[in-house]
Amino acid sequence: MKKVIFVCTGNTCRSPMAEAVAKKLWEGKAEVISRGLGAGGMGITKYAADVLAENGFDAGEHISASLTAEEVAAADLVLTMTESHKRVISDALPQFAYKVHTLCEYAGKDGDIPDPYMMGKQEYEACFEKIYGCIKAIDIQE
């Protein structure tokens, strides 16, 4: 089974939404976790949890955590929300750069996943739609 890590900045909005979507859509095909580049100890934001629930997904008792080199080493695939997240990880761990991609790039789509943090519910809904579309487009193989 593939080990996939979704990465954003604080691990409170985008990557936990991606984790929840992928856990359901890729059930039985991938072990999925989410992490942040500067995260630690916070829950998922209210709008992120609300938008997930309204679309039939559950983030559970998510607590934000920072990405570690050991997790990157153990992963088969690291999917970031932006090109800058990808660069930070690839620069810090060049030996693992081959497994680090943006979510959009890996799904064959353009752009980044915009950060809805501290914005309104509409931005979270748009963020969810983009994440969902990307994950649905990926044919994950065991």
Instruction: Tell me which residues are annotated as active site.
Output: 8, 14, 115
Q: Are strands 2-8 and 100-102 parallel, antiparallel or unpaired?
A: unpaired
Amino acid identity of 46? K
Three-state DSSP class for residue 100: strand
CA-based end-to-end distance of the chain = 5
Residue-wise DSSP of 28-83: TTEEEEEEESS--SPBPPHHHHHHHHHTT----S-B--B--HHHHHH-SEEEESSH
